[in-house]
């Protein structure tokens, strides 16, 4: 966790696969991730349709150029979204106190190969997310897996650039 705090800025590509009960076969999307310490995180999906999420402070801005949509959410008003984005941002920031506000945090492995297991503490959030598994090595995150109560899950594989 501590070594994560040394990362001030990072750029990565991602591939996300969603396994949903209502759809047969995974839904795949990909794009880039951008992180600026301590609290700015950008997720730009390029395929299959462009969409960007910019998280800055306690505001999340979702932009869909194709549909001319742009929406800004105050995270306090959307506790589930907040818990969700904090699982990634606080991990990247090495911010254990914030993580602990939303989740009971379990850590396995060693510095070279670690696994963070987040279990939501709030019942309202448990209804949306049952577990988040973040796998990484040193100060890099390799994958994030989100498991929902119904069995739906998504796996995001992250490849860092320029290191």
Note the residues at the interface with another protein (CB under 8 A).
16, 18, 20-25, 27-29, 43, 45, 48-49, 51, 53, 58-59, 62, 69, 71-72, 74, 76-77, 80-81, 84, 128, 148, 152
Number of Cβ within 10 Å of residue 118's Cβ equals 24
Shortest distance, position 70 Cβ to another protein, whole Å: 10
Collapse the DSSP code of 124 into the 3-class scheme (helix H, G, I; strand E, B; otherwise coil) and give the result: helix
Cβ contact 122:102 at 8 Å: yes
Of 17, 16, 56, the C-alpha closest to 36 is 56
Burial class of 35 by CB neighbour count within 10 A (0 to 12, 13 to 18, 19+): buried
Kindly state the smallest distance separating residue 125's Cβ from another protein, in Å: 12
Shorter beta-carbon distance to another protein: residue 128 or 142: 128
* Residue 113: CB minimum distance to another protein, A: 28
Compute the half-sphere exposure of residue 5: CA atoms within 13 Å on the CB side of its CA: 6
Question: Judged by CB, which is closer to another protein: 62, or 105?
Answer: 62
Measured from the CB atom, the residue of 1 and 73 that comes closer to another protein is 73
Read off the DSSP letter of residue 125.
H
Residue 45 beta carbon to another protein: minimum distance, rounded to whole angstroms: 6
Which uninterrupted H or E stretch holds 109? Answer: strand 103-109
Question: Any idea of the CA torsion for 47, 43, 118, 38, to the nearest 10 degrees?
Answer: 160
Pick between residue 25 and residue 97 the one whose CB is nearest to another protein: 25
Q: Closer CB to another protein, residue 3 or residue 21?
A: 21
Q: How far is the CB of 42 from another protein (least distance, A)?
A: 12
């Amino acid at each position: 966790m501590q070594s994560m705090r040394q990362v001030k800025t990072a750029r990565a590509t991602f591939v996300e696969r969603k396994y949903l009960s209502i759809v047969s076969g995974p839904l795949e999307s990909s794009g880039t991730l951008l992180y600026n310490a301590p609290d700015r995180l950008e997720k730009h999906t390029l395929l299959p349709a462009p969409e960007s999420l910019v998280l800055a402070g306690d505001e999340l801005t979702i932009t869909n150029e194709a549909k001319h949509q742009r929406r800004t959410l105050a995270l306090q008003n959307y506790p589930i979204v907040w818990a969700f984005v904090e699982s990634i941002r606080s991990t990247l920031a090495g911010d254990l106190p914030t993580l602990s506000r939303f989740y009971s945090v379990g850590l396995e492995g060693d510095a070279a190969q670690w696994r963070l297991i987040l279990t939501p503490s709030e019942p309202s959030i448990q209804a949306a997310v049952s577990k988040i598994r973040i796998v990484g090595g040193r100060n890099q995150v390799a994958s994030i897996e989100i498991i929902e109560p119904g069995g739906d899950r998504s796996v995001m594989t992250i490849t860092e650039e320029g290191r």
